[in-house]
Amino acid sequence: MQTILATDCGSTTTKSILIEYSEEAGRYRLARRGEAPTTVEAPAEDVTKGVLNAVGEIEDLEGRRFLKDNGSGVHVREGSGDGVDLYVSTSSAGGGLQMTVAGVVKSMTGESAQRAALGAGAIVMDIIASNDKRLPHEKVEDIRRLRPDMILLSGGIDGGTIDHVVELAEIIRAADPKPRFGVGFKLPVIFAGNKDA
């Protein structure tokens, strides 16, 4: 791996960095930095535009191509040529990635999901669990009110019961969560648990 491109979508500025492996030094080094205004709010309401602009600045400074020919994203190459070997992106726009986590048992899978989300840099807004003493309609109302950017649903072990995981999934579905930013986007729900669920 010779070339890594990373972007971070901040609240006001999207930053990009190009990291390259130096054969001479035997280590990676920061080769170039770029930035552009973040485009999460109106009129653009699409963070991708800010990312493309920040990467475009690096392209201009380097005199090399890192974006796909159609301008739709970063070109991760296979072999040699234009593009990068690895592209990673983070976001702290809009106050950071706000997540609601759900787990079968609050003190076990709920807290495990919370640790995973926090470890990824998210802001955990709520832990929903089968045993959290809220009625189903209260959980639905809380999900709608919080409007998280993403939901992480966890629970169950392979070969175990799927009833509680399905119950939580039905609550999430009933809430029909809408993202904070943009219109017409689907809110991602990540599942980590019993493969049979």
Digit-coded pLDDT (tens) for 64-103: 999 998 888 898 988 777 899 999 998 776 667 889 999 9
C-alpha–C-alpha distance, residues 181 and 168, integer Å = 24
**Residue among 109, 117, 174 nearest 149 (CA):** 117
On whether both 61 and 123 belong to a single domain, the answer is no
Cis peptide bond upstream of 43, omega within 30? yes
Predicted pLDDT of residue 42: 79
For residue 76, the domain's CATH number is 3.30.420
Predicted pLDDT of residue 94: 60
Axis-axis angle for helices 136-146, 163-175 (nearest 10): 50
On whether both 33 and 79 belong to a single domain, the answer is yes
The pTM assigned to this predicted structure is: 0.56
Question: Which residue, 50, 66, 91, sits at the end of a domain?
Answer: 91
Mean pLDDT taken over the chain: 89
Is residue 31 situated within a structural domain?
yes
On whether both 81 and 105 belong to a single domain, the answer is no
On whether both 185 and 102 belong to a single domain, the answer is yes
Q: What's the number of domains the chain is made of?
A: 2
**Owning domain of residue 120:** 98-192
Name residue, tokens 């039905």: 170
Question: Which residue, 40, 62, 91, sits at the end of a domain?
Answer: 91
The percentage of the chain sitting over the pLDDT mark of 90, rounded to a whole number, equals 61
Give the model confidence (pLDDT) of 123-153 as tens digits.
899 999 999 999 999 999 999 999 998 999 9
For residue 151, the domain's CATH number is 3.40.50
